[in-house]
Amino acid sequence: MADLELTYFDFNGSRGDECRLALAIAGVPFQDNRIKGPDWPALKSTMPFGALPVLDIAGKGRLTQCNAILSYVGRAYGLTPDDAWAAAKQDEVLAAGEELRHAISVTLRITDAAEKQAKREALAQTTIPAWGASMQRLLGAGPFVAGDRIGVGDLKIFTLVKWIRSGALDHVPTTVLDDSPKVIGVWEAVGKHPAVVAWYAAH
C-alpha cells in the first residue's frame, strides 16, 4: 500500500487535481481516494475543518488545506525551488490562486439567476482580468513560474485557467484571460507536461 493517501471528491479538477498532479509529476505512488457526492455528508465531520483535500502520510499524520499539501509535496519531492526567495514566489502564486478561486466560488452558491449573472459578469469585467494582469506581471520568461522547471505554483494556475476556459462558468467568457499570455502559457506548458498527459489519459 502507498505511504500517501490523497482524499478528494470524485472529479478531475480544482484543489484535488492540483495535489494529484503534484504527486504524479513527482513520481510518488499514492492512493487516490475519490469521494462520491452522496457519501460526503457522512464523512464531512470526520475531516479536519470539514473540508477536502486531505493528505494522509504514513508515520506523520494528516495534512489539510490544498496550499499546505502543495507546499509539502513541493518541498519533499522537488517541485519547489531550494532557494528561499524562489520558494516564496511559488507560495505567492498559491495564495493568489486561492484568492481568485474564492471570488469565483462565492457565485456558485447564488440561486437567483439574475443575481448570479450580474456577479459573474462583474467577475469577467474586473476581478478575473485584474488577477490575470497581476499574475502576468509576476511571471518571468516562462514557460513556468520558476522558468524551465515546473513547480506547484504552475499547477494552481493550470487548474484555475482550465476551469475558466472550460466554459463551465456561465456569463464568464472562456477568453477572459487572453490578455495575459504568460498565464495562458503556463496553462499550456503544464497541459503538455508528459506526467500530466499520462495522468489524464489514465484518469
Question: Based on the domain organization, do 65 and 107 belong to the same domain?
Answer: no
Question: Based on the domain organization, do 27 and 92 belong to the same domain?
Answer: no
Cross-sheet strand order for the sheet of 31-35: 31-35, 4-9, 54-57, 61-64
pLDDT at 181: 97
Question: Based on the domain organization, do 15 and 97 belong to the same domain?
Answer: no
Look-up of cell digits 449573472: 117
Looking at the structure of the chain, the number of domains it has is 2
Look-up of cell digits 457519501: 39
Q: What pLDDT band is residue 1 in, cutting at 50, 70 and 90?
A: low
Contact 63, 57 (CB under 8 A): yes
Question: Based on the domain organization, do 67 and 117 belong to the same domain?
Answer: no
- For the stretch 19-61, pLDDT in tens is 999 999 999 999 999 999 999 999 999 999 999 999 999 999 9
Question: Based on the domain organization, do 91 and 68 belong to the same domain?
Answer: no
DSSP state, residue 152: H
CA–CA distance, 152 with 140 (Å, rounded to integer): 16
pTM, 2 dp = 0.96
Residue 72: CATH number of its domain: 3.40.30.10
pLDDT at 182: 98
Question: Based on the domain organization, do 178 and 89 belong to the same domain?
Answer: yes
Residue 110: CATH number of its domain: 1.20.1050.10
Question: Based on the domain organization, do 93 and 70 belong to the same domain?
Answer: no
Question: Based on the domain organization, do 160 and 62 belong to the same domain?
Answer: no
Question: Based on the domain organization, do 124 and 177 belong to the same domain?
Answer: yes
pLDDT at 2: 77
Question: Based on the domain organization, do 27 and 68 belong to the same domain?
Answer: yes
Q: What residue numbers bound the domain in which 146 lies?
A: 84-193
Question: Based on the domain organization, do 64 and 26 belong to the same domain?
Answer: yes
Question: Based on the domain organization, do 70 and 105 belong to the same domain?
Answer: no
Q: H helices of the chain, where?
A: 14-26, 40-44, 66-77, 84-105, 113-122, 128-138, 152-165, 181-192, 194-202
Q: Residue 111: is it exposed, middle or buried by C-beta count within 10 angstroms (0-12/13-18/19+)? A: exposed
